[in-house]
């Protein structure tokens, strides 16, 4: 049995001259704020369940394309900001930043590198590419492209229609750590070798015989592009193999180590069978859901506090940690495919990861 919390003294209970004396010396009494920073049983969650509909954002993003040339934006992005944190903080959760980025035909977003890790989930349009660490990654709908911490990246577009992708970064965390900065660079030289070709089959690793050809093996991030075709096929194969299994999910992993693809945020693709409802375990990390194909309704919360978002293709929502989330695919005939980003690697590395049900 847990002992109940006793009521603690308030700031107003203290004489004003005493509080002033403390403040002048840069001192603060803990007890009036103790319950705020260490609340009982569950953290205080600023992250609010929030949804962003692509059909609302797209016209505004295209308008940004008219209002602001790429040279004046470097990255032409509308940030999906969580009102629970305050819009100016530009964060979806404590550690997750989300943005929808627009690149028009012929535009180029110049090469830079920065401390936060990023990924791109391609939402719409063909013909764009991101060159990461010398590897030119074509961007097709549903592809996941990593730009991990410290690696040069630039975006270009040889196609004929606007291209939009979802940026997911751990910027809020790295900024909070006072460790966020960028460096601009020159247009990158393209180097031989593509991770998405070298690692096409799970469990089969490219094995250089000659030491001088072993460059990729020494890379912290050997695979930078995860084609949607491959991820989708893996989910369908899993569904065929495990008709008994309720949840069909894959993790975007580093093929050499099996660890999460990046250090701080986790990335997954989940398939909902036609008509399926899936109540996720309640866990400490916040999550983001983005519909790649089909539709899903997402219930976040409990009882009367439950919020329901009806997501269609290209829509995005977020859910705080420590909160029940249930997904439902209402279609009787079509599977739904959902891209998920969460804070699991961060919570696990810090030792605060919890599953509560």
For residue 327, state whether it binds ligand GTQ (rule: CB under 6 A). Answer: no
For residue 235, state whether it binds ligand GTQ (rule: CB under 6 A). Answer: no
**Could you tell me the smallest distance in angstroms from the CB atom of residue 118 to ligand GTQ?**
6
For residue 262, state whether it binds ligand GTQ (rule: CB under 6 A). Answer: no
Q: For residues 118 and 223, which CB has a smaller minimum distance to ligand GTQ in the complex?
A: 118
For residue 156, state whether it binds ligand GTQ (rule: CB under 6 A). Answer: no
**Could you tell me the smallest distance in angstroms from the CB atom of residue 114 to ligand GTQ?**
6
**Could you tell me the smallest distance in angstroms from the CB atom of residue 79 to ligand GTQ?**
7
**Could you tell me the smallest distance in angstroms from the CB atom of residue 169 to ligand GTQ?**
6
How many whole angstroms separate alpha carbon 354 and alpha carbon 357?
9
Lookup result for tokens 């791109």:
120
What does the per-residue mask of binding to ligand GTQ show for 168-187, with x meaning CB under 6 A?
A: -x------------------
Q: For residues 154 and 342, which CB has a smaller minimum distance to ligand GTQ in the complex?
A: 154
Q: For residues 262 and 299, which CB has a smaller minimum distance to ligand GTQ in the complex?
A: 262
How many whole angstroms separate alpha carbon 53 and alpha carbon 38?
35
Q: For residues 70 and 118, which CB has a smaller minimum distance to ligand GTQ in the complex?
A: 118
| 3-state helix/strand/coil string of the chain | CCCCCCCCCCHHHCCHHHHHHHHHCCCCCCCCCHHHHCCCCCCCCCCCCEEECHHHHHHHHHHHHHHCCHHHCCCCEEECCCHHHCHHHCCCCCCCEEEEEEECCCCEEEEEEECCCEEEEEEECCCEEEEECCEEEEECCCCEEEECCCCCEEEEECCCCCEEEEEEECHHHHHHCCCCCEEECCCCCCCCCCHHHHCCCCCCCCCCCCHHHCHHHHCCCCCCEECHHHHHHHHHHHHHHCCCCCCEEEECECCCCCCECCCCCEEEEEEECCCCEEEECCECCCEEEEEEECCEEEEECCHHHCEEEEECCCCEEEECCCCCEEEECCCCCCCEEEEEEECHHHHHHHCCCCECC
**Could you tell me the smallest distance in angstroms from the CB atom of residue 28 to ligand GTQ?**
35
| Count of residues engaged in binding ligand GTQ, rule: CB under 6 A | 9
- Ranges within 100-139 binding ligand GTQ (CB under 6 A): 101, 114, 118
For residue 75, state whether it binds ligand GTQ (rule: CB under 6 A). Answer: yes
For residue 77, state whether it binds ligand GTQ (rule: CB under 6 A). Answer: yes
For residue 99, state whether it binds ligand GTQ (rule: CB under 6 A). Answer: yes
**Could you tell me the smallest distance in angstroms from the CB atom of residue 176 to ligand GTQ?**
16
Q: Which of 143, 167, 170, 315 binds ligand GTQ (CB under 6 A)?
A: 167
**Could you tell me the smallest distance in angstroms from the CB atom of residue 67 to ligand GTQ?**
17
Kindly compute the dihedral angle of the four CA atoms of residues 204, 117, 126, 225, in this order, to the nearest 10 degrees. Answer: -10
For residue 222, state whether it binds ligand GTQ (rule: CB under 6 A). Answer: no
- Binding interface with ligand GTQ (CB under 6 A): 75, 77, 99, 101, 114, 118, 153, 167, 169
């Amino acid at each position: 049995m847990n002992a109940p919390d006793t009521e603690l003294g308030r700031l107003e209970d203290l004489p004003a001259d005493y509080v002033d004396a403390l403040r002048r010396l840069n001192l603060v009494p803990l007890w009036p704020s103790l319950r705020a920073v260490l609340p009982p049983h569950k953290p205080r969650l600023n992250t609010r369940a929030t949804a962003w509909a692509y059909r609302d954002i797209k016209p505004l993003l295209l308008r940004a394309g008219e209002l602001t040339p790429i040279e004046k934006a470097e990255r032409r992005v509308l940030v999906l900001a969580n009102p629970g944190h305050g819009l100016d903080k530009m964060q979806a959760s404590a550690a997750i930043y989300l943005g929808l980025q627009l690149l028009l035909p012929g535009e180029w977003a110049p090469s830079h590198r920065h401390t936060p890790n990023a990924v791109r989930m391609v939402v719409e349009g063909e013909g764009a590419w991101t060159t990461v660490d010398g590897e030119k990654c074509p961007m097709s709908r549903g592809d996941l492209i990593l730009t991990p911490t410290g690696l040069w990246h630039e975006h270009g577009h040889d196609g004929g229609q606007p291209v939009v992708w979802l940026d997911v970064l751990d910027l809020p965390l790295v900024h909070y750590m006072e460790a966020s900065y960028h460096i601009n660079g020159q247009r990158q030289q393209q180097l031989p070798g593509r991770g998405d070709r070298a690692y096409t089959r799970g469990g089969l690793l490219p094995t250089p015989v000659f030491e001088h050809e072993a460059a990729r093996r020494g890379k912290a991030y050997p695979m930078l592009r995860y084609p949607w075709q491959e991820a989708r096929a893996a989910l369908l194969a899993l569904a065929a193999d495990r008709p008994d299994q309720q949840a069909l999910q894959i993790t975007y992993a580093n093929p050499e180590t099996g660890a999460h693809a990046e250090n701080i945020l986790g990335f997954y693709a989940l398939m909902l069978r036609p008509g399926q409802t899936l109540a996720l375990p309640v866990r400490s990390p916040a999550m983001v859901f983005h519909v790649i194909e089909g539709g899903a309704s997402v219930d976040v919360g409990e009882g009367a506090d439950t919020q329901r978002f009806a997501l269609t293709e290209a829509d995005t929502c977020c859910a705080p940690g420590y909160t029940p989330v249930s997904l439902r695919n209402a279609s009787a005939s079509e599977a739904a495919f959902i891209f998920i980003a969460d804070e699991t690697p961060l919570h696990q590395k810090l030792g605060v990861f919890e599953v509560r049900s």
